[in-house]
A and B are shown apart, each in its own frame.
Chain A
Amino acid sequence: MIDKFVADMPAALAGIHDGATLMLGGFGSVGMPNQLIEGVADMGVRHLTLIANNAGAAFGGMAVLLQTGAVEKVVCSYPRSANSTLFVDLYREGKIKLELVPQGTLAERIRAAAAGVPAFFTPTAAGTQLGAGKETREINGKLCVLEQALFADFALLESWEADRFGNLTYKLAGRNFNPIMAGAAKTTIVQTHNIAGPDGIAADDVMTPGIFVNRVIHIPYGDPVL
């Protein structure tokens, strides 16, 4: 019988290694797999690259992981936080590298990786510092830059509901980067608030098909906190 649920954190995070690239779902504090990220911090792995929209707030999983010094590089669109200078301090001290990517390009690079599209042209960032050094082409009268698909070793996600096949749903603004990161990593690990009933999630309600998901752990921690 297929059952992607794992019993505990070590089983969920098994295989995460020094030098791994991790995708982290979430936008702000909503849809963020905080407990999985704290689990990674507890493992003591080093030299990690994180791919996420933000680079942590004053609290939560990313803040914990950044504080351990385990993160070598962050790929994100908006590393500033209204209530924390943690990332910015590390960046200014030269202790962490940053690849700044426009948010839509970040999302599309992730979707492209999951969809088997190795690269694509986009008008976003053409003629700007963030497009500098990239191959350009004028397409239908618009200057475009070539962007590469963005892969990871592991994706850590948060869902609202999951069934044993790894089918997922999300709640409201909790969807964000989670569904597109599923499938862009070699191994996709999900923490879910709720476990679906015995019949699983109805086919029409599935937001992420289970084929993209490898492991699920049930962590009903409650509502996100801003």
Chain B
Amino acid sequence: MPDTLTPIKSLTREQMAARLAQDIPEGWYVNLGIGAPTLVANYVADREVVFHSENGILGVGPAPGANEVEPWLINAGKQYVTLVEGASTFHSADSFGIIRGGHLDLAVLGGYEVAENGDLANWSTGANDAGPAVGGAMDLGAGAKQVWVLMDHTTKTGEPKLVERCSYPLTALGSVTRIYTNLAVIDITPEGFVLRDAAPGLTFEDIQARTGATLRRA
């Protein structure tokens, strides 16, 4: 069915990250998941937002220049990073205390599926070809004050990723509060999915047709 839809122009990964970044207020403490969520850091402009990395850093800055690499400073994605003013380092139990203890204002995570009740599936497709791995996803899902998911609206084959109930193994229950996709910004409310913003040129009906559960108007 999705194949018969009129082709639409969707946002790039960079545009999605920039759209999400607009909504992060100055002063928030934020963890960015590995992959596309990492791009969000490039778009907070001149607002002071403190980025957290699970391996024990608050105040993560941009990637270093080739001659400025500090070999003892990597992020959770195992890439070299820098520190910004006010940064601190700490051990893994404190780092996850920050997460689980509800001190982080926001975690931005990727997703395989998000359900209309806020359930998140983002750690396993159930196929174990690459071996199972979870990292900090379940802790971030259960602990951050807000969990925003940054992901494509549908799979590569056009299947909806916003669904009534997740079919993939769950990461966390009822924790996602907002979803930023290449087509829309959607809030999760007690009533379910609510459309807050659509990519340029898209209608409510365009988004609903590509969503696997009932969409409500804001």
Contact = CB atoms under 8 A, between A and B. Distances in A.
Contact of B91 (A101, A105, A177): A177
Interface string A136-179: 00000001000000000000000000000000000111111111
B205 interface: no
Interface of B: 53-57, 70-76, 78, 80, 89-93, 95-96, 99-100, 124, 128-139, 142-143, 169-173
A98 B54 CA distance: 22
A176 B71 contact: no
A64 interface: no
Nearest to B54: A103
Contacts of B171: 128
Interface string A95-131: 0001011111111101100000000001111111110
Given A102-B136, A108-B93, A175 B143 contact: no
Contacts of A124: 100, 138-139, 142-143
A77 B136 contact: yes
Given A77-B136, A87-B131, A226 B92 contact: no
A28 B73 CA distance: 11
B173 A79 contact: no
A37 interface: no
- State the majority secondary structure of interface residues on A: mixed
A173 B54 CA distance: 10
A105 B142 CA distance: 12
Interface string A7-46: 0000000000000000000011110000000000000000
Given A107-B93, A226-B80, A88 B130 contact: yes
Contacts of A102: 134-139
Contact of A103 (B80, B92, B132): B92
Given A127-B173, A171-B72, A226-B80, A78 B91 contact: no
A79 B70 CA distance: 25
A103 B96 contact: yes
A108 B143 CA distance: 14
Given A27-B55, A173-B56, A173-B74, A104 B91 contact: no
Contact of A100 (B99, B133, B136, B172): B133
B136 A173 contact: no
A53 B96 CA distance: 13
Contacts of A77: 133-136
A104 B76 CA distance: 13
Contact of A27 (B92, B131, B138): B92
A173 B89 contact: yes
B143 A104 contact: yes
A30 B92 CA distance: 13
Given A122-B100, A223-B71, A226-B74, A78 B130 contact: no
Contacts of A129: 124, 169-170
A173 B72 contact: yes
A127 B93 CA distance: 22
Given A104-B138, A177-B92, A223-B72, 18 more contacts: A28-B74, A29-B78, A30-B72, A30-B73, A77-B135, A87-B131, A102-B135, A102-B136, A104-B99, A110-B93, A124-B143, A125-B138, A128-B171, A171-B72, A173-B53, A177-B91, A180-B92, A226-B80
